[in-house]
């Protein structure tokens, strides 16, 4: 097996993929993809996740829009949180660049781009790929704010207990760190295995054998028997990320394990017993999922024997400065340079920024500033160029339709009909539907699953409605 780092290139232009693959072949093992579904299927087949990725925004079925690329960035990081993503796109407006970085991309490069510059950025990305887990330090979590003190107290109470823990928090807030460092490494189970599985990153048809194992011949391709995560975890910790994505047919089987430790490999009748501790995480509101019929109430209650909430960065006050100091020293050491500093005005703007991408976004900003301004004082203008302020702009200009009563809606419709000789009702409704879908995607950072939940429909329905946009 090659010792080269694995590079993923996602671009629907084969000329670009081939050219970049050839240019980087000396330093990287390269895998390529042309579309988001193909890329996700490819990831599930790879034995290890790519360390770095080059991702185009304009991907089919919407090559002239950034939606698919934005969604893919989020899904890649859900699959492999430590992957370093560089967005390479012709849709290189400032808003797209800022939003890509907010979602977790470490850098944004507009097309056309010199391969030599890309190679430099890829090398820099790898240089920052060491031990860096989000909001953690050797002594535990970083932060002195009240939300962090509350979290630290809860973890101290729950860490060594054998009962399940449910970790709630927004994307990028460091739920994986809480699971691995605080609920495993700092417990009596630290010498036992820690296994993590993202329920959204594996095909539903493969999730059951991945969790429980399978017998030889259980399905096409099962040429040998194989243990699953429950068996491999032993008496350690099994971390189930994005638990809200667990298919409904698997939920009772997970419930059985939680209740009595029993499970069966796919294709076997023999009952096995798991002694692993289950830690689950979600950025969904599972109570709402229960009301919608997408998640079992009994499973939720078994998973949430203990619940901890990882606070969003906007609620952590001056902890933003503590994290800044931690990461800039860490990355300066890795890059073998002097850390940058913020001038007083820039520091004030740092404290005012909400960091919609949470600790992941903060970390990536520090990586870019370290690479661009080593040992220098970063000005306000230089800092603001890294911030995504589109959310604030959108929020200020948004009209809350919920605040419009029935009479107002009636009057608006009357005015429209009175000023138009004839309208196309289907086209009008389709326009409104598309606006709501685009707004939901924007608010969800391009994450189709989250957008679907905002709209009260399932992901498949949302995909179908988006595909209708491109049909004649």
Domains of the chain: 6-127 (3.40.50.2300), 136-309 (3.40.50.300), 313-392 (1.10.8.60), 398-468 (1.10.10.60)
Cβ(85)–Cβ(53) under 8 Å?
Answer: yes
Is the peptide bond preceding residue 112 cis, with omega within 30 degrees of 0? yes
Q: What is the reported pLDDT for 416?
A: 66
Q: What is the reported pLDDT for 171?
A: 86
Strand pairing partners for 307?
166
Q: What is the reported pLDDT for 434?
A: 83
Q: What is the reported pLDDT for 406?
A: 58
The tokens for 406 are 């029935």
Q: What is the reported pLDDT for 420?
A: 61
What is the CB neighbour count within 10 angstroms for residue 260?
11
Pairing state of beta strands 107-110 and 341-342? unpaired
Q: What is the reported pLDDT for 139?
A: 45
Cβ(88)–Cβ(54) under 8 Å?
Answer: yes
Residues ≥6 apart with Cβ < 8 Å to 159: 182, 183, 186, 187
Q: What is the mean pLDDT of each run of 10 residues along the chain (472 residues)?
A: 88 94 95 93 85 94 88 86 90 83 90 90 81 47 91 90 94 90 89 90 84 90 90 95 92 95 93 95 91 94 94 93 94 92 94 91 93 94 84 39 55 66 74 84 76 76 70 52
Q: Give the number of C-alpha atoms closer than 13 A to the C-alpha of residue 329, restricted to the C-beta side.
A: 7
Beta strands in 27-69 (DSSP E): 29-33, 52-55
Q: How far apart are CA 368 and CA 28, in angstroms?
A: 22
The tokens for 463 are 């995909």
Which contiguous run of DSSP H or E holds residue 329?
Answer: helix 319-335
Q: What is the reported pLDDT for 403?
A: 46
Give buried/exposed letters for 338-358 (b at 16+ CB in 10 A, else e): ebbebeeebbeebeebbbbbb
pTM of the model: 0.71
Residues ≥6 apart with Cβ < 8 Å to 439: none
Q: What is the reported pLDDT for 94?
A: 81
């Amino acid at each position: 097996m090659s010792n080269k780092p694995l590079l993923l290139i996602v671009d629907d232009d084969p000329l670009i993929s081939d050219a970049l693959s050839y240019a980087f072949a000396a330093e990287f093992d390269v895998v390529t993809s042309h579309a988001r579904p193909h890329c996700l299927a490819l990831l599930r087949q790879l034995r290890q996740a790519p360390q770095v990725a080059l991702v185009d925004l304009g991907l089919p079925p919407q090559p002239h829009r950034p939606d698919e690329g934005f969604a893919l960035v989020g899904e890649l990081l859900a699959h492999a949180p430590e992957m370093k993503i560089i967005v390479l796109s012709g849709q290189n407006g400032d808003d797209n660049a800022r939003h890509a970085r907010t979602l977790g991309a470490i850098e944004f490069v507009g097309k056309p781009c010199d391969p030599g510059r890309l190679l430099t950025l890829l090398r820099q990305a790898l240089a920052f790929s060491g031990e860096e887990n989000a909001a953690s330090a050797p002594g535990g979590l970083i932060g002195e704010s009240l939300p962090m003190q509350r979290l630290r107290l809860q973890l101290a109470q729950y860490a060594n207990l054998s009962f399940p823990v449910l970790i709630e928090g927004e994307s990028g807030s460091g739920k994986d760190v809480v699971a691995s460092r605080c609920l495993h490494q700092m417990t009596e189970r630290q010498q036992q295995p820690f296994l993590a599985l993202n329920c959204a990153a594996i095909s539903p048809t493969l999730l059951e054998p991945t969790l429980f194992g399978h017998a030889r011949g259980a399905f096409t391709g099962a040429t040998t028997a194989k243990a699953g995560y429950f068996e491999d975890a032993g008496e350690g910790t099994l971390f189930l990320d994005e638990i809200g994505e667990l298919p409904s047919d698997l939920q009772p089987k997970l419930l059985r394990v939680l209740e009595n430790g029993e499970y069966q490999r796919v294709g076997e009748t023999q009952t096995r017993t798991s002694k692993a501790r289950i830690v689950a995480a979600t950025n969904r509101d599972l109570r709402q999922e229960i009301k919608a019929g997408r998640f079992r109430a009994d499973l939720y209650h078994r998973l949430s024997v203990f619940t901890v909430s990882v606070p969003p960065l906007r609620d952590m006050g001056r902890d933003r400065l503590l994290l800044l100091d931690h990461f800039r020293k860490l990355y300066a050491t890795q890059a073998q340079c002097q850390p940058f500093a913020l001038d007083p005005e820039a520091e004030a703007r740092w404290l005012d920024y909400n960091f919609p991408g949470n600790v992941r976004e903060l970390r990536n900003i520090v990586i870019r500033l370290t690479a661009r301004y080593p040992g220098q004082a970063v000005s306000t203008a230089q800092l603001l160029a890294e911030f995504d302020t589109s959310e604030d702009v959108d929020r200020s200009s948004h009209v809350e339709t919920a605040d419009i009563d029935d009479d107002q809606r009636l009057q608006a419709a009357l005015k429209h009909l009175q000023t138009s000789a004839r309208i196309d009702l289907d086209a009008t409704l389709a326009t409104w539907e598309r606006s709501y879908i685009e707004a939901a995607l924007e608010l969800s950072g391009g994450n189709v699953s989250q957008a679907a939940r905002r709209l009260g429909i399932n992901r498949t329905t949302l995909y179908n409605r988006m595909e209708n946009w491109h049909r004649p």
